[in-house]
Amino acid sequence: MKWIAVGAAVTLMFMGGSARADDAAAKFAELFTSVCLDKFGNLDKIEDWASEQNLRPISNPQALAVFAGRPNIDGTMRSFAGGGVPGSGKAWAVHDPAGRFVVATRLDPESCIAWAQQADPADVEAAYAKMVETASTSGSDVKLVEDKKVDIPNGQVHIRVYRIWLGSAMNSFALVMAAVNRSGGPFQAMLETQRVYDRDDIINPMVPLVPPPS
């Protein structure tokens, strides 16, 4: 799939609008497509990208817990949704004139996540819909797995999950979106790509609905 072209198309969707949260949404979608989607299945390339961009890894335990998972009592990394192996849970802050973003990776399940501190939720949903449309190619089995809204302390988060099955675990993945209806929390938007090993795999998205434990 030409995910770089998708990123360019998403950017064009927002051109001509006012310079506000839609600029952040465009950059956010471009970041996700060029890093998480274009490098799907190659977490080492994401780490190489972060190094090339001179991005320092996030080491603060509370921040890392929000964006990539928290360490459990035996020292391994575990996301709020569950799962965890030693070495899982890396994140990097991405500072851009359009906004503040984070790119994170997990090993269990294998996934790449992009976060935006502030991004217009309607624009994020439009960009996500474009990604799903692009994934719906001939021969693909695209299924809506989850679509719900959940109340959280700083608003309401819309969570949508699609499974894109392309015939094997080598190229099949889940595409996850979480968008909060108002800013003010640690994030307003999240996009995630997660490897799918079987057509009926349970999708385990990185959506922290509660604050990390102290």
- Give 81-109 pLDDT, tens digit per residue: 444 444 467 899 998 999 999 999 987 77
Non-local (6+) Cβ contacts of 70 within 8 A are: 61, 64, 77, 78, 79, 80, 89, 212, 213
Q: How many domains does the chain have?
A: 1
Q: Average per-residue pLDDT in the chain? A: 79
Burial bucket for residue 26 (CB in 10 Å: 0-12, 13-18, 19+): buried
* Percent share of the chain, pLDDT over 70: 77
In a domain, 213, yes or no: no
pLDDT value of position 3: 40
pLDDT value of position 68: 82
In a domain, 129, yes or no: yes
Mark out the alpha helices in the chain (DSSP H runs).
Answer: 3-14, 21-31, 43-52, 61-68, 121-135
pLDDT value of position 124: 95
- Give 32-43 pLDDT, tens digit per residue: 999 999 998 888
In a domain, 128, yes or no: yes
pLDDT: which is higher, 3 or 143: 143
What is the band of 159 on the pLDDT scale with cuts at 50, 70, 90? very high
Distance between CA 197 and CA 110 in Å, rounded? 10
**pTM greater than 0.75 (yes/no):** yes
In a domain, 209, yes or no: no
Domain coverage including residue 108? 3-195
pLDDT value of position 213: 40
In a domain, 190, yes or no: yes
In a domain, 171, yes or no: yes
The b/e string for 126-157 (b: 16+ C-beta within 10 A; e otherwise) is: bbbebbeebbeeeeeeeeeeeeeeeebeeeeb
What's the residue count for the chain? 214
Distance between CA 118 and CA 133 in Å, rounded? 24
pLDDT: which is higher, 16 or 136: 136
In a domain, 178, yes or no: yes
pLDDT value of position 208: 53
In a domain, 200, yes or no: no
